[in-house]
Structure 1
Amino acid sequence: MPWLTAEEALQALKTKPQTLYANVSRGRIRAKPDPADPRRSLYQAADVQRLAERHAGRRKAEMVAAESIRWGDPVLSSAISTIIAGRLFYRGRDAANFAEAATLEQAAALLWNGAETLFSGTTTGNAPPSLQAAFLALAERVTADLPSLGRSQAALRREAHSVLSTIADALAPGPSDQPLHLRLAASWKRPDAADCLRRALVVLADHELNASAFAARVTASAGAALSAAVLSGLATLTGPLHGAAWQGVDALIELSSALGAEQAIRRSLVQGNHLAAFGHPLYPDGDVRALALLSHFSLPPQFAALRETGEEMVGEKVNVDFALAAMAAAFGLPREAPIIIFSLARSTGWLAHAMEQIESGELIRPRARYAGPAPQMRSGS
C-alpha cells in the first residue's frame, strides 16, 4: 500500500496543511507515523488521489455519491457518535474515558439521549448466551411489534428498552436486577472477567455510521418496528468484514501457533489475505477501543508475540477485533464470546440510530447507477 509524505500529499491536493490534517481527522485520508521519523506522518496515496480528483472537478455527482457510500464523505447527519482526531465520542463524551466507570445500561441512556439509567432483562434462566436465540427472539417480535412511524420518541424509548431486554435475555441471561456485564460474566462462570466485559460493552456500544448501523437505519427509515431494525443490524454484524472479524484473528493465532508469528504473518501477506488483527482506517494512530481494553488484562503469550511482530511487519497497531479475541483467550471465555459481546453492546447503538432515523422522517432510498444491458425501448405506434 503506497504512502506519501506530507509534501507529496499537499502537492497532489493543491491545498494547505490545515486542510490535509482536517481530512485525516475526518477519516477521509488514512495516515500513519513515518518509520524513518516518528515525528512525521505518511498519508495513504489512494485516499489522497481520490480527494485530488474530486477537488479538481473531474468527478460527476453520481461518482462522488458512489464513493461516499464506501469509505467516503458523510452521507447523513447524526448526533449519536463520531470519530475525531483518532478518538471516539458518544454525544460529545469521550467513549474510552466514559468506559472507565460506566455500564452498558448507562451507555444506552446516553446514546438514546435519555437521563435515566436503563435496566434490561426479565428472565432468570440458566441457558448460555446464544446468538441463535437472539435472532429467533427478534424475528418473533418483528411480526408482532407496531411499526415505528407515527409514534412519539417517549413511546419509542420504552419499546427500545423492551427490545434491549429481549436481546439481553438471549445474550446475557440472568437476574433482571443485575447489570448486563455481571450477567454475562456469570453466564460464562468467569466473574474475574466482569470488569473487562463492562469496558468492552461500553466502547463497542456505537461506532458512527458503520455497516450494521446503516442497515438498521435503512430498515427504520421504512417505518419498520425497532425490533426489525435491530435484526437488520445483527444480521449485518455477522459478516467477516464486521463483527465476525475476530474469526480472522483466531485463524491467524492458530497459524502462528504452528509456524511462529513472523512466518504466519508473512504467509498471510504473501497470499494476499487481509489481516483482521491490525489497523483501522479511522484510527491511524491505533484503535482507541483496543487500547481501552488491552491495558486491563495480561495478553496470552501467542497474542503478545503476534502483536509485537505484526505491528512491526505491517506498520499498523492491533485493533478492537484483536483485543476481543485476546480477551476471550485470556479469561477462558467461549470461542464465540467476541461476537456475543459485540452484538449485545452494539444493539444499544442500533436502537439509537433507528430512533434518530425515525425522528428525521426521511426514507433512505438512494438511486442505483445502472450498468446493465441497454433497455429495449418500444417505439410508439
Structure 2
Amino acid sequence: MITEPDFEPVTRSKIGLMFRRLTLLVWGLPAALGCEPHAPDAERLQSPQAATTPSFENGIVRIAERSLRFLEIDDVNAEAGRAAVRAPGQIVFRDGAVAEIGAPVAGRVSEIHVRVGDRVEEGALLISLLSPEAASARAASAAADAEVRAARNELERQVRLREKGLGVQRDEFEAETRVMEAQAAAASAALAVAMLGDETGALVHIRAPISGMILDRSAALGASVDPGGETLLRIGDPAALWLMVDVFVDDLPLVQEGAGASIEVATIPHPLRGRVESVGAVLQTQLRRAPVFISIDEQQSANVALRHGMYARAQIEADVLHGVMVPASSVVIRDGRWFATYVEVREGGTEFEQRNVVVGQVVDDYVQVLSGLEPGERIVVRGALLLDGTADLLQ
C-alpha cells in the first residue's frame, strides 16, 4: 500500500488557503473598484463599456467612473512641518551623581554611622573600620619618615666634614643617595596612608565623597571587608536626575543637542520641560535604539517628587521638515522596497499615474516626500491600496 508523505496534508491546507485568498483578491477587489470579470476579447471590444474597463498600461491605472466613490483625492501642498520624536524612558541619576563606597583596606566593620535614606554632606563620616593592615601601613610610614630624617642628618655631617677638610667626597655622594632613596620610600608610604584618613593606629574612617542620599547599604557590623570587594554603601544626589530615553535609529537624525522636550511622568499631573543634553553614540543592536539624555527643568523638578527608576515618556522637538508632506495612507510600498503614490492624470478623470517617490521622515500620520511629487498635483489619499492591488492584478 502506498502512503502519502507526512507533510502533504499541511501543504494542501496551505495551498487551499492561498487559493481562497487569491480568489477573494481577484474577484472581490476588482468588484470594489468597479471591475468586471474578464470576458473574451471580442466581447469586450464590442461592449459599450470598453472605454471604461479597468486597465493598467504604461504606469497608468484606469478605473470605472463608478469606482471613484471609493477614492479620496487631494492636492499636494509644500508646507513646512515640525517633527516630534516620541520615546519611552526612565528617570536616572546623571553621570557623577552616584558614588559607590567600598573598603580602602582589609578590615572589619566596627561602626556604621548612617542609614538608608539619610542625607549626607561631602566628607560626612559613614563607616568605621578596624584594620591591622592600616596599623601596619601607618607604622611603615612613620618608620620611613624617621629614615628620611636619619639620612638627612648623615648628609649634613658629611658636608661639615668636607668643609673642614676631613671628609671624603665619595661618602658625601653616598649620603645624598640614601636621602633620595629614603624620601621615595616615605612618599610611597605616605600615599598609602593618605587613603586611610587622618586617624591613627588600626582605626579607619570612610567618608562621603559627594553630598547626597544613602540609596542602599550592604555593610553589616562585624563583617570582614576587602579592597575591591562588595560595595558597602551607595550615595546618590536626588537633585541630579535626568531622563534617559531610547530613540529608534530612524529617528536619531531628527534629534539634536539643545532641542526642547516635553516629559510626561505617570505620577505627575502636568508635563515637565526638558532639554536634550546628549545623544548616545552606542546603538543597542537588537532593539535598534540609542540612548538620548534629557535634563529636567530645575525649578519644576524641585517641586515634584521625582525618583530614580521612574518611567516616563518624552516628546522631543525636532527640526522643521521642509518639502512635501502627504498623508501616510497615500503612500504604498512596492515589492517591499519602493514607495509609490497614485497621481490623478486629469482632474475628475478616471486615470491615475503610478509614481515612485523617495520618502523621508514620518511625522504622526504624514510622510515627508523628498522627490517624486510636486506641489499642486493631486494624489489619492484614501484608496491607494485598492488602486495598487488593481494595478497588480491587471499587469
TM-score (norm 2): 0.18
Give the structure with the larger helix fraction: 1
Give the structure with the larger strand fraction: 2
Highest relative contact order (Cα 8 Å, sep 6+), 1 or 2? 2
Larger of the two Rg values belongs to structure: 2
